[in-house]
Amino acid sequence: LSMNSSGSSKDNMLNYSVNTGYTMQKEGKSISDIGGYASYQSPWGDISASASANNDSSRQYSLATNGGFVLHGGGLTFTNDNFGNSDAIVLVKAPGAKGARINGGNSTIDRWGYGATNSLSAYRENLVNVDIDTLENDVELKSTSATLVPRDGAVVLASFETDQGRSVILNMSRNDGKALPFGAEIYENDVQIGNMGQGGQAFVRGISDAGELSVRWFEENQPVTCSATFALPATQQTVGSSQTLLLDHVTCRVNNLKSNGIDNEKE
């Protein structure tokens, strides 16, 4: 008689199984046993452990690790992959992109912004991809792929530019009731952080907790600006399952436009 149970985590990084059995021998003696196994694909390599025991004083235990590492100018980077002497290895640098998978495999970017894998073919064009769906931080990658042609046994660097500023979606309107034009540039402290989208929504990155925004555009070949003060609430609302914040009801006061005979600068 035996029973088994097994399972895995949602991301398949953790797998486990448990078994138990009961055996009746001819001599009338019965033996019962129990055992278990677990494996985990950690950022530092694969780890597995097993244990078993029975009522006949038999005990067995095992522990195994599997993986590789790359020592480089930015530190020491561990990976789930096993490296051979002739493997072509890519060291991926993507600051802040913790958790992003490399080439759809088990290797991920660590907390220091590095990851490594040997899923390359020497002397051929290889496309190195970074999967943004598994990002743990609020980070924007300027690009998510790079093409490399490594030599046999080489370690090549693929560097990805990132923007680690906080992202916010603003629902913004003008104080005169008109819509802010699509494509208008949004600045904070004279640094552009985004553009107006459709329907009065804007996506910005690198915004402060509180301050003043300046929106700039042209009407009839004349520069127009409006200013909006803002403060992110203590209880912050996010967009869906993302880490992007949502800020509603932001009013932008037009600074240098006469509308319907009213000079906004004199209001």
Measuring CA to CA, which residue among 94, 60, 61 is closest to residue 77? 94
| pLDDT above 50 (res 260) | no
Q: What pLDDT was estimated at residue 23? A: 76
Fold of 167-266: Immunoglobulin-like (2.60.40)
Confidence check: pLDDT of 27 > 70: no
**pLDDT tens sequence across 160-189:** 999 888 889 999 999 988 899 999 999 999
According to the model, what pLDDT value does residue 190 have? 93
Question: Residue 105 and residue 116: Cα distance in Å, rounded?
Answer: 11
Rounded Cα gap, residues 70 and 76, in angstroms: 6
HSE of 264, CA atoms in CB hemisphere, 13 A: 17
Three-state DSSP class for 44?
coil
167-266 matches 68-162 in CATH topology: yes
- DSSP bridge pairs for 31: 23
d(CA 214, CA 193): 10
Res 44 pLDDT > 80: no
The fold of the 68-162 domain, in CATH, is Immunoglobulin-like (2.60.40)
For the ranges 29-38, 73-82, 127-136, 138-147, the lowest mean pLDDT is seen at: 29-38
Q: How do the domains of the chain map onto residue ranges?
A: 2-66, 68-162, 167-266
Could you read off the pLDDT of 185-235 as tens digits, one per residue?
999 999 999 999 999 999 999 888 899 999 999 988 999 999 999 998 877
pLDDT at residue 31 greater than cutoff 90: no
**Hunting for tokens 């989208």 — which residue is that?**
197
99-150 tens-digit pLDDT = 899 987 778 999 999 999 998 999 999 999 999 888 887 888 989 999 999 9
Where does the pLDDT of residue 58 fall: very low under 50, low under 70, confident under 90, or very high at 90 and above?
confident
> Does 261 score more than 70 pLDDT?
no
